[in-house]
Amino acid sequence: MSDERILEGKQWLEKLLHLMGVEAKVKTEPSPMSGKRTNEPWLVIEESQLTPEQRETLLGSKGESLDAMQYLMNTLINLGVHPDEQAAFTVELNGYRLKRQAELLSWTQSLVEQVRLSQTEVEMRDLSAAERRQVHSFLEKTQDVATESRGQEPDRRLVIRPR
């Protein structure tokens, strides 16, 4: 992704925060996640000037506010942009994404073992769309299990099943 697109994302998020009444700087970092999306930048909201209430508001329950900002940003920034040039930003605050990724990975690994032993499928409920994509990505190269999403929002769930 070009430096220009990264700057555009940073400025967009800072403007959104300003409109929300939150004066916070945003720094850009390469993705700390392993896998094929390592070139997608993270926009990290600097929290040093935030109150605990502002942090809580920006995160929301189970990261829902952070997810909403990220979804809105990626959708609006990519309007009218050729698919090859679209941006895919991750918005991070207070290490939430890294902690949640570790939780998801651990949960996914235990469910994969359950599927392998039982040879039956299991469902993962209460995942955001971004979290479902992460789990699909975790397991995309796994030979003996497959993933799929079923249902409609707000009851969409990810299924891990034997291949």
> Cα–Cα distance between 141 and 25 in angstroms, integer?
37
Mean pLDDT, the chain, integer:
91
CB atoms within 10 A of CB 114: 13
Q: What is the DSSP string of 30-95?
A: -----STTTTS-EEEEP-TT--HHHHHHHH-GGGHHHHHHHHHHHHHHTTT--GGG----EEE-TT
At 86, is the pLDDT very low, low, confident or very high (cuts 50, 70, 90)? confident
Closest CA to 71 of 28, 158, 136, 129: 129
Domains in the chain: ranges and CATH = 3-94 (3.30.300.20), 100-162 (3.30.1370.50)
pLDDT in tens, 35-83: 544 467 899 999 999 999 999 999 999 899 999 999 999 999 999 988 8
> Cα–Cα distance between 49 and 57 in angstroms, integer?
14
Q: What is the mean pLDDT of residues 96-111?
A: 94
The kind and range of the H/E element at 157 are strand 157-162
CB atoms within 10 A of CB 21: 8
Total-model pTM: 0.80
Amino acid sitting at position 101: Q
Rg (CA), the chain: 17
